Structure 1
Amino acid sequence: MPIIKILPHPEYCPQGRDINAPAGTSICEALLENGINIEHACDMSCACTTCHVVVREGFNSLNELEETEEDLLDRAWGLEPNSRLSCQAILAQKDLVVEIPKYSINHAKENH
């Protein structure tokens, strides 16, 4: 079972954290199932960029980007070459290091 190391984020994971998730799970699902409430305004349907993450290690082990995800990523805040929408990035057997960007384009966050 791969380990996802989440780098510290002031709101979602202030201390950083390591979580286990089964291969075949999206990064977003893994984070949510482990109490890291990353934004996912479109309910993980690949229609927004609020679940954008930067994969610092293990990027090439993830599934291929599809055209819809690539198009949406162009609108993500803080886009980097190793950016993914966490709802579309499916885990393989390799460990990952993931950074949640400081900001997202969601101007109407629930519960805030």
Structure 2
Amino acid sequence: MPEIVVLPHAELCPEGKTFEAAKGESICDNLLDHGVEIEHACEKSCACTTCHVIVREGFDSLSPSSEDEDDLLDRAWGLTPVSRLSCQAKVGDSNLV
């Protein structure tokens, strides 16, 4: 089973966290299920960018992004080549950081 490693973040997860992820579920759902209260203002409907995450490792194992997700990501603060909306990115076989 893949793992998700959440790096320390002052507001979201000050100590960081590592947990086993449910393959095929979104990063957002996995985070919420393990007590990481990531914002998701649109209720995970791919209509905002509040759940934007940067995937430093394991990016290529995620489900492909949709055109709608790509369009929204263009407006996300701090966009990087390995940015995803956590509500849309489904966990694959690899560990994620």
**Shorter-chain TM-score range:** over 0.9
| Separation in structure 2 between the aligned mates of residue 28 and residue 19 of structure 1, nearest angstrom | 13
| 1:81 Cα deviation after fit | 0.4
Q: Is residue 2:42 matched to residue 1:27?
A: no
Which residue number corresponds to residue 36 of structure 1? 36
Per-residue CA distance 1:40-96 (angstroms, 9 max, x = gap): 000000000000000000000001111000000011110000000000000011100
Q: Is residue 2:56 matched to residue 1:56?
A: yes
Q: Is residue 2:2 matched to residue 1:5?
A: no
| Separation in structure 2 between the aligned mates of residue 61 and residue 93 of structure 1, nearest angstrom | 6
Q: Is residue 2:68 matched to residue 1:68?
A: yes
Unaligned 5+ runs, structure 2: none
Greater strand proportion: 1
How many residues end up aligned between the 2 structures? 97
Identity of aligned residues (%): 62
Q: Is residue 2:47 matched to residue 1:47?
A: yes
Tell me which amino acid in the other structure corresponds to 1:9.
H
